[in-house]
């Protein structure tokens, strides 16, 4: 008897959530030392399997480069662990003796983790580690085109966690993911927080679920080569970055903005680095293969090499071609080279002035990269800081590879495979998401100062005294106008009569 795949997927999701929910209640009783033992065991196990998982990912998805995916897996296991290992995430995490405030951490519960096809194993490892560090359970929904390698990464993490003492069911997944099951996972009552990495529609669905959610927007990253830059180093960094795993990291450079003064030198350096420039008919062929439908990226080129993409477009390029570049001056979605391409393809824009360079960078970000990242190559710190202040992005990488610099491999940024875009990109944070984003904090606060709160009886007495003074003032004025000596009149009796009349009138 056969069952509908959607129904099977939904039931599997519900079962995984139930098990994770029950297991997390047990895991929430673990001490910091017990949690840390589990996290380290998982990180070590994933690190040992980095190469095998990388090969599985390339074989299944037909995207990227195995040796580069191995580096991603190493960053997501070893580097992520090193960045979170000393964080306090269980029980009392901070005491402010001066203010007499104690901070106490508690987990969200169960994390719904959506895993992309571009970074299937590294993202699964990273999301598992930061979830467990916060005392949470996790249920993952792999991308249908990367199911096997993602589940293998999760199995490795799960077995290691159980070996270290974690309860069965703490790490779960959907083995036959469907869109409906993923949507129901995000909306399920047992899901407490969502970590969504994927397309715009998926991230919007996560934010519309009514659950706390961390999603990320697209990254149409400009790389600005400013006139004071070391051009040879800048070009080498850009080419190395853009070819890292064939451009599948969302922080990879998507377009170069070069100062007019150093344009010719920049082009020469690109050609030295095995970059092929297209123009005329070849550019038109590339545009059709990049975006057959205006504004939409062709998914078949994602993670492919420059040589493969050229062949798909019907263009003959040298066998050692690393990146394909076309000069461009349009800033619109109908210009395929100007959108996010997730492959070793770049646009080249020329800026005759500083102001124009800023306009081009802003235009590229407005096409779909607001809030994400920007790369700048310069020896002028003032220029770098100026761009950091005015550009609507959450991270600015200076003189390094944008792709791996943004995830913390070549910079001091927090190692992460979910890069927030802040309010610029409609996200709740612009941080590199880590374990601290998956804990809540309650605060125990002791009295530090006394405050006197006036009582109601005091207010009424003040009010009566004030009214009595007003009546006495009126009586005195009336008597003065009548030329009557105050000593011949009993003012208290008159005030009594007035108050009685007013009281009768107000009934």
User: SS3 of 133, please?
Assistant: helix
Q: Is 147:176 a contact under the CB 8 Å cutoff?
A: yes
| Cα–Cα distance measured from residue 460 to residue 475, given in angstroms and rounded to the nearest whole number | 23
State residue 95 phi and psi, 5-degree precision: -125, 130
| Cα–Cα distance measured from residue 341 to residue 337, given in angstroms and rounded to the nearest whole number | 8
Q: Identify the active-site residue in 149, 157, 250, 421.
A: 250
| Cα–Cα distance measured from residue 111 to residue 188, given in angstroms and rounded to the nearest whole number | 11
Q: Which residues pair with 377 in a beta bridge?
A: 225
Q: Is 250 a catalytic residue?
A: yes
Q: Is 66:58 a contact under the CB 8 Å cutoff?
A: yes
Nearest to 253 by CA among 345, 330, 317, 161: 345
- Give the Cα-Cα-Cα angle 285, 288, 292 (nearest 5 degrees): 170
Q: Is 140:174 a contact under the CB 8 Å cutoff?
A: yes
Q: Is 143:150 a contact under the CB 8 Å cutoff?
A: yes
Q: Which residues contact 303 (CB under 8 A, 6 or more apart)?
A: 61, 62, 63, 64, 118, 245, 246, 247, 248, 342, 343
Place of tokens 């606060």: 445
Element (H, E) at 478: helix 456-481
Q: Is 433:113 a contact under the CB 8 Å cutoff?
A: no
SS3 content of the chain, % helix, strand, coil (to 5): 50, 15, 35
If DSSP states are collapsed to H, E and C, what string results for 226-273? CCCCCHHHHHHHHHHHHHHHHHCCCCCEEEEEEEHHHHHHHHHHHHHC
| Cα–Cα distance measured from residue 365 to residue 247, given in angstroms and rounded to the nearest whole number | 18
Residues designated as active site: 250
């Amino acid at each position: 008897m056969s069952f509908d795949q959607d129904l099977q997927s939904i039931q599997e999701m519900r079962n995984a959530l139930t098990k994770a929910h029950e297991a997390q209640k047990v895991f929430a009783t673990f001490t910091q030392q017990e949690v840390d033992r589990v996290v380290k065991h998982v990180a070590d196990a994933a690190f040992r399997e980095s190469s095998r998982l990388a090969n599985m990912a390339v074989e299944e998805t037909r995207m990227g480069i195995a040796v580069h995916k191995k580096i991603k897996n190493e960053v997501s296991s070893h580097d992520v662990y090193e960045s979170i290992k000393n964080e306090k995430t269980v029980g009392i995490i901070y005491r402010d003796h001066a203010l007499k405030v104690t901070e106490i951490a508690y987990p969200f519960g169960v994390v719904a983790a959506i895993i992309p096809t571009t970074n299937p194993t590294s993202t699964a490892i990273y999301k598992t580690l930061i979830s467990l560090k916060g005392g949470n359970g996790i249920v993952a929904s792999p991308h249908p085109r990367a199911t096997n390698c993602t589940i293998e990464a999760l199995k490795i993490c799960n077995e290691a966690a159980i070996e270290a003492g974690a309860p069965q069911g703490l790490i779960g997944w959907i083995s036959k993911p469907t869109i409906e099951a993923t949507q129901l996972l995000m909306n399920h009552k047992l899901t407490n927080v969502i970590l969504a990495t994927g397309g715009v529609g998926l991230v919007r669905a996560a934010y519309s679920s009514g659950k706390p959610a961390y999603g990320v927007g697209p990254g149409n990253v400009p790389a600005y080569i400013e006139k004071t830059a070391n051009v040879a180093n800048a070009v080498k960094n850009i080419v190395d970055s853009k070819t890292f795993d064939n451009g599948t990291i969302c922080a990879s450079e998507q377009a170069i903005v070069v100062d007019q003064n150093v344009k010719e030198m920049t082009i020469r350096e690109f050609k030295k680095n095995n970059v092929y420039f297209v123009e005329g008919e070849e550019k038109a062929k590339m545009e059709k293969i990049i975006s057959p439908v205006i504004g939409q990226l062709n998914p078949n080129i994602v993670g492919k090499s420059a040589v493969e993409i050229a062949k798909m477009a019907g263009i003959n390029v040298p066998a050692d071609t690393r990146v394909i570049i076309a000069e461009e001056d349009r800033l619109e979605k109908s210009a395929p080279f100007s959108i996010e391409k997730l492959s070793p393809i770049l646009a080249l824009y020329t800026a005759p002035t500083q102001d124009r360079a800023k306009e081009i960078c802003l235009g590229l970000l407005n096409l779909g990269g607001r809030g994400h990242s920007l790369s700048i190559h310069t020896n002028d710190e003032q220029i770098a800081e100026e761009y950091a202040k005015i550009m609507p992005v959450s991270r600015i990488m200076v003189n390094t590879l944008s792709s791996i610099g943004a995830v913390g491999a070549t910079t001091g940024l927090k190692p992460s495979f979910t890069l927030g875009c802040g309010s610029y990109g409609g996200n709740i944070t612009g941080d590199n998401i880590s374990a601290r984003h998956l804990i809540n904090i309650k605060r125990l606060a002791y009295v530090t100062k006394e405050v006197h709160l006036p009582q109601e009886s005091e207010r009424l007495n003040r009010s009566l005294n004030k009214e009595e003074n007003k009546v006495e003032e009126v009586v005195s004025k009336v008597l003065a106008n009548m030329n009557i000596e105050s000593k011949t009149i009993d003012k208290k009796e008159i005030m009594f009569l007035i108050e009685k009349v007013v009281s009768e009138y107000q009934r």
